[in-house]
Structure 1
Amino acid sequence: MRDLRTEKVPFTGERSVTAPSTWGQRQAWLDMGRMRPGTPYNVTQVLLVPEGWTVGQVLDRISETVGRHEALRTLFFEDDRGELVQRVLDSGEVQVEVWTAEGSPEELLAGAMELNRRLEDAVFAHDSEPPFRAAICAPGGVPQAVIVCVTHLTADLQSTRLVAEELAGSHRPAPALQPVDVAAYEGSERGLKREASALAYLRDTLTAFPASNFTAPPGKAEEPRHWRGGLTSKAVTLALEVLATRHRVSTSTVCLAATAAMLGAATGEARCGLLLIVGNRIPSELRYAVGSLAQNVPVLIDLAGPGFADLVRTVWSASMGAYRHGRFAPAKAWREIDDVTRRRGGRPELDCFFNDMRGRKDRLPQDRTAAELRTAARETVFSWEDRRATGGTFFMEFGDVFGEPDMTRLSLFADTCLLPPAAHEALLFGMESLLIELVERDVPLAEIAGLTGLAGLSGVSGLSGVR
C-alpha cells in the first residue's frame, strides 16, 4: 500500500512477571494446536477517532492502553513439562501501521478493509512479540479510524471491544483482574472448587447429549464441502427487541431459542446439543477484564415445546446452567469427554456451536408490528461469504454490522453433506421469518418447518422426520 509507514510504539507497565496460564488462554492454545502451523488466529475491532486528535495523540493513547493491560504485553511459551506459561513484559514496543493516503470515500474504505485484512492475517511470534498490533487510517495525516488487532490467545472479542472503547475515550478503564491474577484464582482452593462443579456439569450434560444433531444419512457434499452464508437484517434486530421484552429475557436468549428451533426444524430431532461460546464475565472483577476468558460449554435443549414461548423458558434455564459452569481447565475437560465417550461407546455431538457476538446495545425496546418488520425485511441481504474444504458441522453466529447499528448479521458455517446450500439459505431466511411471525403470535414448534420453507427441501438431513 502506498503512503504506509510502520511506527514502533514504546510502552511501560507496572510489573514484569511470569505465571501459569489461565484456563481461557489454554483453550485458545489448544484451538491453535489444531490448526496448520502459521494459521492466523486474531480478532480485530474498528473504532472512530474523535475529531481533533492527531496521529501523535493516537499513538500516545495506544502506548498508555498497552501499558495498562498486561494481556496486551504478554509473551507465551511452554515450560519443560509442556505447560503453557505467560510472561508479562514491563516494557517494550508494539507495531502500529499509519496509512496517510488520500482518495475518494470508496478508495479510503477499500484501503481500510485492506488494513483490516492485513491485521487479521498477521502471524504473531507469541514467545517474542507482544500480542497487539494496530493500524491508523489517517488520510492527509488526519486520523479518522483505528483498527485494533490482538491474538485470541491473549484476548477475546469482548476484551478487544473494551480496548477499542478505551482508545476512543468512550469507556473509562474500570478495576478488573489481570490475567496473572485470574490464573492465581483458578489455582486457588476456591477456583478449584468452582472448576470441580463445572466439570461435573460437563460430565452430566455430555452423558445426556445426542451422538449427533443430524441423525439421517448424509447427502452429497459440495466442493469445497463447508460453506458460510451470511444474512444482514434490520427486521431481526427489531424482532429480537420486541420478543426479549415480551418474554422478559435477553435478546441473546431469544437468539439461542431461535437457533435451536430452526435446527430442530431442519433435523426433525426432539432435542439438540450445542456448544455455547461463554464469555465468563459474570463476576464483577471480570466484567471489564482484558484477557482470554471465553470457553466452550455444552448445553442440551429439549425441543418438546409445544410453543416457542415454552422453548424460550427452556432455553433460559438450560443456558443459565451453562453460563454458571463455564470455567475449567481444558485438559481436564477433555479427560471428562474421553471418559464419557468410553462409557457411552461413542463420542457425543461436539461440532455444533452457537455464538452471540453482538456488542452491548443501549437501546429502548419499541412496539413493532409484524407488518412493519415484513417491510423492513425487504432490505435483507444474503450472500455466500466463504467456502472451505474443512470445518465443523454447524456454527451459528449473531453479530453486529459496523456503521449500521440497526442491523444484525446472522452467519452460519455448515457442512453441505448435512445442510445443502438451498437448505442453508432457507434456514437463515427462515429464522428471520420465524422471528417476524413470533412478533404477531406464538408459533408451535411443529409448524416451523412449514412456516420457514424448510419442509419439502430435498437433501436436508433429517427433514423426513420433521414433527
Structure 2
Amino acid sequence: MTWERVAVPFEGYGSGVEELAWGQSELWRAMQRQQTFMPIGYAEPLPPGTTLDTVVDGLRYWMGRYQTMRTRLRHDPDGRTRQVVHASGEVTLEVVDADDDTDPAKLAEEVRLRYWESDYDFVDEWPVRMAVIRHRGTLTHQVVVLCHLVTDGFGGLIMLRDLASRNTDPVTATEPLEQARWQRSPAGRRHLSTVLRHWEDVVRSVPARRFPDSDDPRTPRHWQVGLDSPASHLAVRAIAARTNVDASPILLTIFVMATARVTGANPVVTRVVASNRFRRGLGDAVSPLTQTGLCVIDVAGLTFDQALARTARRAFVAYKHAYYDSAALDEVVERVCRERGEHVDLSCFFNDRRLVTRDLPDGPPPTPDQIRAALGRSTLRWGDPIDKPSERLFVNINDVPDTVDITIFADTHYVSPAGMEAIAREMEAVAVEAALEAEQ
C-alpha cells in the first residue's frame, strides 16, 4: 500500500470573521461536552470509469461553492470562538494505492476509520478529509469525512445533489456569516426573546425527573442498543393510511407512548430534533441548522390516535421554538432550576434521522397478517459501551429502507441496559398494536 497527496487549490465567494451562528454554536458546545469533532461521512464505491481529475474537480467544487467548507475556527482572547471563512486556500486529496491482493472496500473502510478516529484541528485544518482508493490502476472507492460544523444530514443531501448536477446557480440560502449577523439584529433578538420565554414557561411547569433510578449502572456507563423492526415499518404504513398523517409524528408518538409505559413518567418530556429548514432563507442551506425543541406530551388514558393528534400539535410548537442561541438558553434553564431549587432533567432526545427513506412507499397498506408475520424478523443488536460523555437517553430513527431501525444511546446510571431494550421493544409493540386497532 502506498499513499500520494494531491494538492487541490480552491477559491470561492465570501469571506470574513463572525460569531458562530446558532447551529454552529449548538454543535461546538456538544463537541466540547462529548470530546469529539462529530465526524460524518462515508466510504463508498466509485462509478466505473471515475478519473482522478473528476474527483479533484468535485472536491474543488465543494470547497468553492460552500462557505462552510472554507470555514475554520478562531479562539480569541475574549474567550469567544468565532468562525473564519476564507476566500481561497489549498486542501489535500489522498490517493491510496491498494496492494494487488488487498480488498479495496476493506481498505476504504480502514481509511474512513482513520479519518474518523484521529484528532481534528479546528483552527488549522480544513473541515474535510477525502481519499480515493486505487486498485490495479483503477479508482474503486472514495472516502469522505466531514467535521459536523460543515453540515448536517439535510445539508449533506443538498451537497450531494449539487455535486451530481454541478449546479452553478448562485447560492441563495443564508450562509453562517449572514446568519450570525441576522441573529444579533433587532429581528433576531426579538425572535430569541420569544423562544427563551417559551422554554422558560415549559421548564417551570414540567416534572423535574425523567427516569426512575437505574437498578443496573454499568462501567463503562454509556451503552447503545439497536432494534431493526420490519413489523414497525409495516405498522407505520398502516397507521399512516388510516390516519392520513405523515410517518414522522407517528414515530414520535410511538416513542412517547413506549417511554411512558416503560418509565412510568407522564407527561413525557423530550427534546425533538428540528431541521429548521422551514425558516425563511434556510430551505436550501448546507450549513448545520438542526437544534432541538422541547416537547411535553401527556398520553395517560389516550388511544393511539388521540395521542397522535396531541403529539402532532405539541411537536409543531416545539419545532417553532427550536432555533436559538444555545448558551443563552442554558442560562435560562440554569436560572429556572435555581429558582425551583432542583435540577430539571432535559436529557431525553428523539431524532428522526430518515432522509432518503422519509417518504413511505405507495401502494395498498399492509394487512394485519403481514404485520404479524413480520414480527419474527426483528433483530436486536448491542454496540460497544463507551465512557465518553453522552446524553441520558437519545433515540434515533435511522435511514434504513423497509424497516424502522432504532438506535438507543443511554447513560446506564439513569437508564439500565434492560430499560433500553424495553423501550426499543415497546416501541415495536406500540406500533403493531396501533396498526391492528382498526380490526378490533
Asked if these proteins are the same fold (TM beyond 0.5), I'd say: yes
- For structure 2, which runs of at least 5 residues remain unmatched after alignment? none
Q: How does 1:222-233 map to 2 (within 5 A)?
A: 222-233=218-229
| Cα distance change, pair 261–68 in 1 and its aligned pair in 2 (3 A) | same
Measure the CA separation in 2 of the matches of 1:376 and 1:242: 13
Measure the CA separation in 1 of the matches of 2:166 and 2:241: 27
> Is structure 2 residue 28 aligned with structure 1 residue 64?
no
Q: TM-score w.r.t. structure 2 length?
A: 0.90
C-alpha deviation, 1:297, in angstroms? 2.5
Q: How does 1:9-48 map to 2 (within 5 A)?
A: 9-36=8-35, 39-45=36-42
Kept in 2, the 8 Å contact 1:241–1:365? The answer is: no
SS in 1 for 2:98: coil
Match of 1:341 among 337, 343, 348: 337
Q: How does 1:318-333 map to 2 (within 5 A)?
A: 318-333=314-329
> Is structure 2 residue 275 aligned with structure 1 residue 279?
yes
Partner of 1:409: 405
Amino acid of the structure 1 residue aligned with 2:106: A
| Cα distance change, pair 442–111 in 1 and its aligned pair in 2 (3 A) | farther
C-alpha deviation, 1:264, in angstroms? 0.5
Measure the CA separation in 2 of the matches of 1:368 and 1:309: 18
Single out whichever of 116-125 and 197-206 deviates more from structure 2. Answer: 116-125
C-alpha deviation, 1:442, in angstroms? 6.2
Measure the CA separation in 2 of the matches of 1:5 and 1:161: 29
Measure the CA separation in 2 of the matches of 1:244 and 1:117: 39
Kept in 2, the 8 Å contact 1:148–1:160? The answer is: no
Kept in 2, the 8 Å contact 1:150–1:160? The answer is: no
| Cα distance change, pair 330–146 in 1 and its aligned pair in 2 (3 A) | same
> Is structure 2 residue 233 aligned with structure 1 residue 234?
no
Match of 2:372 among 359, 374, 377: 374
> Is structure 2 residue 176 aligned with structure 1 residue 175?
no
Single out whichever of 201-210 and 157-166 deviates more from structure 2. Answer: 157-166
SS in 1 for 2:92: strand
Partner of 1:298: 294
| Cα distance change, pair 372–84 in 1 and its aligned pair in 2 (3 A) | same
C-alpha deviation, 1:317, in angstroms? 0.8
Match of 1:118 among 107, 114, 119: 114
Amino acid of the structure 1 residue aligned with 2:343: R
Deviations 1:233-275 (A, max 9, x none): 3333333233234333321211111111111011112211112
Q: TM-score w.r.t. structure 1 length?
A: 0.85
Kept in 1, the 8 Å contact 2:69–2:127? The answer is: yes
> Is structure 2 residue 50 aligned with structure 1 residue 53?
yes
Deviations 1:365-424 (A, max 9, x none): 4310232133334333221112123433211111124xxx32442100123344333342
Cα RMSD for the two superposed structures: 2.6
Single out whichever of 335-344 and 76-85 deviates more from structure 2. Answer: 76-85
C-alpha deviation, 1:102, in angstroms? 6.7
Partner of 2:243: 247
Partner of 1:89: 86
Measure the CA separation in 2 of the matches of 1:78 and 1:89: 16
| Cα distance change, pair 141–313 in 1 and its aligned pair in 2 (3 A) | farther
Match of 1:74 among 68, 71, 77: 71
Single out whichever of 144-153 and 285-294 deviates more from structure 2. Answer: 144-153
Kept in 2, the 8 Å contact 1:44–1:160? The answer is: no
Amino acid of the structure 1 residue aligned with 2:208: A
Partner of 2:385: 387
Kept in 2, the 8 Å contact 1:227–1:413? The answer is: yes
SS in 2 for 1:129: coil
Measure the CA separation in 1 of the matches of 2:73 and 2:20: 8
Kept in 2, the 8 Å contact 1:400–1:407? The answer is: no
Deviations 1:94-125 (A, max 9, x none): 23333342778x93443232222222224322
Q: How does 1:211-222 map to 2 (within 5 A)?
A: 211-214=208-211, 216-222=212-218
| Cα distance change, pair 217–380 in 1 and its aligned pair in 2 (3 A) | closer
| Cα distance change, pair 90–244 in 1 and its aligned pair in 2 (3 A) | same
Kept in 2, the 8 Å contact 1:280–1:327? The answer is: yes
C-alpha deviation, 1:228, in angstroms? 0.2
> Is structure 2 residue 254 aligned with structure 1 residue 258?
yes
Kept in 2, the 8 Å contact 1:44–1:119? The answer is: no
- For structure 1, which runs of at least 5 residues remain unmatched after alignment? 445-467
Kept in 1, the 8 Å contact 2:100–2:136? The answer is: no
SS in 2 for 1:133: strand
Kept in 2, the 8 Å contact 1:274–1:300? The answer is: yes
Amino acid of the structure 2 residue aligned with 1:391: S
Kept in 1, the 8 Å contact 2:74–2:82? The answer is: yes
Partner of 2:431: 435
| Cα distance change, pair 250–47 in 1 and its aligned pair in 2 (3 A) | farther
C-alpha deviation, 1:187, in angstroms? 1.8
The alignment covers a number of residue pairs equal to 436
| Cα distance change, pair 352–133 in 1 and its aligned pair in 2 (3 A) | same
Measure the CA separation in 2 of the matches of 1:285 and 1:139: 44
| Cα distance change, pair 369–108 in 1 and its aligned pair in 2 (3 A) | farther
SS in 1 for 2:385: strand
Amino acid of the structure 1 residue aligned with 2:383: E
Partner of 1:465: none
Amino acid of the structure 1 residue aligned with 2:80: E
Deviations 1:305-361 (A, max 9, x none): 411111111111111111111111112111111121122111211211111111143
